[in-house]
Amino acid sequence: MSEKTVAVIGAGKMGELVLAGLLRSGHPAERVLATARRPERAAELADRYGVAVVSNAEAAARADILAIGVKPQDAGKVLDEIGATRKLVVSLCAGLPTTFFAARLPEGTPVIRVMTNTPALVGHAISAISPGAHATGEHVAIAEELFKPLGATVRVPEYQQDAVTAVSGSGPAYFYLMVEAMIEAGVLLGLPRQVAHELVVQTAVGSAVMLRDSGEHPAKLREAVTSPAGTTGAALHALEKHGIRAAFLDALTAARDRAQQIAAS
Ligand SMILES: NC(=O)C1=CN([C@@H]2O[C@H](COP(=O)(O)OP(=O)(O)OC[C@H]3O[C@@H](n4cnc5c(N)ncnc54)[C@H](OP(=O)(O)O)[C@@H]3O)[C@@H](O)[C@H]2O)C=CC1
Ligand SMILES: O=C(O)[C@@H]1CCC=N1
């Protein structure tokens, strides 16, 4: 892998995380290329990482692996600019199936679809990897190496990717919303904002670590907090009355449906 040249095409928020992860893992900067739309973004990337920021066409010509980090709506234009490449294409784009890329690239070009998430910034992403029709096990292994510095990786069949996007791609936003709402509630109950913030964030971190490290089902962990005729039961009753489970079912269905619309548009 370290002998391959990797180009991050559209190094925005997520593309930058891939680029930074590669460099962190010891990949030589001279074998990392980036592309950007705005000149000021190009300058920022070159300054921050010491990598060459080139045109999409030059990146496609020089690199062995093309990681596509643009918004799904910009992917068609980027592929036009890349031209007829046979290099391994690794897409970060939500919604777009590997066939979207395959249809615009020469027959047989390997394409891999990956859904990662923003905790990549702290090395705690979960990246789900799916090979397209012409991607081999070796290509999947390359994609795994590319995303390992960002956190955990998992292989999923491509038909599951829209569901993955709804669960873990968008997932951090649901947790942040919940944290935000709990802080506001703490303030309503009279806690200073900074205290409410610290209490909620550490509760989130502690609960997440327990979920990960105990191996227990979340229902079991919830039961352990819920004393008979206690405070937690009263709160859970209110959440259930407001339809929290149905809200999540609807929310994740909406995210999955949106991914499907992106593919169709
Ligand atoms: N944000 C998230 O949590 C997640 C996002 N994704 C997926 O990752 C992809 C990127 O999202 P995100 O990083 O949030 O978006 P950003 O807008 O931060 O990044 C997209 C980048 O692509 C650049 N770009 C657009 N068109 C071109 C072009 N023609 N040539 C070169 N560069 C171009 C943009 O440049 P400029 O800045 O100048 O506009 C921008 O820097 C999306 O497809 C999204 O679905 C996947 C998982 C999670
Ligand atoms: O909102 C989005 O479309 C992207 C994909 C997953 C997270 N953010």
Q: What is the chain's pLDDT, residue by residue, as a tens digit (265 residues)?
A: 779 999 999 999 999 999 999 999 999 999 999 999 999 999 999 999 999 999 999 999 999 999 999 999 999 999 999 988 889 999 999 999 999 999 999 999 999 999 999 999 999 999 999 999 999 999 999 999 999 999 999 999 999 999 999 999 999 999 999 999 999 999 999 999 999 999 999 999 999 999 999 999 999 999 999 999 999 999 999 999 999 999 999 999 999 999 999 988 8
DSSP state of 11: -
Distance 170 CA to ligand 2 centre (A): 5
Angle between helices 218-225 and 193-214 (to 10 degrees): 130
The complex's ipTM works out to 0.98
Distance 94 CA to ligand 2 centre (A): 6
User: What is d(CA 18, CA 86) in angstroms, rounded to the nearest whole number?
Assistant: 21
User: Residue 191's pLDDT is what?
Assistant: 98
For residue 258, the ligand 2 atom closest to its alpha carbon is 3
Radius of gyration of the chain (CA): 21
Q: In order of start, what are the domains of the chain with their CATH numbers?
A: 6-161 (3.40.50.720), 171-264 (1.10.3730.10)
In short, whether 168's Cβ falls inside 6 Å of ligand 2 is no
Distance 257 CA to ligand 2 centre (A): 12
In short, whether 164's Cβ falls inside 6 Å of ligand 2 is no
* Ligand number nearest to the C-alpha of 171: 2
Residue nearest to atom 8 of ligand 2 (CA): 170
* Ligand number nearest to the C-alpha of 258: 2
pTM of the model: 0.96
DSSP state of 50: -
* Ramachandran assignment for 244, one of left (phi > 0), alpha (psi -120 to 50 degrees), beta (any other): alpha
Residue nearest to atom 1 of ligand 2 (CA): 170
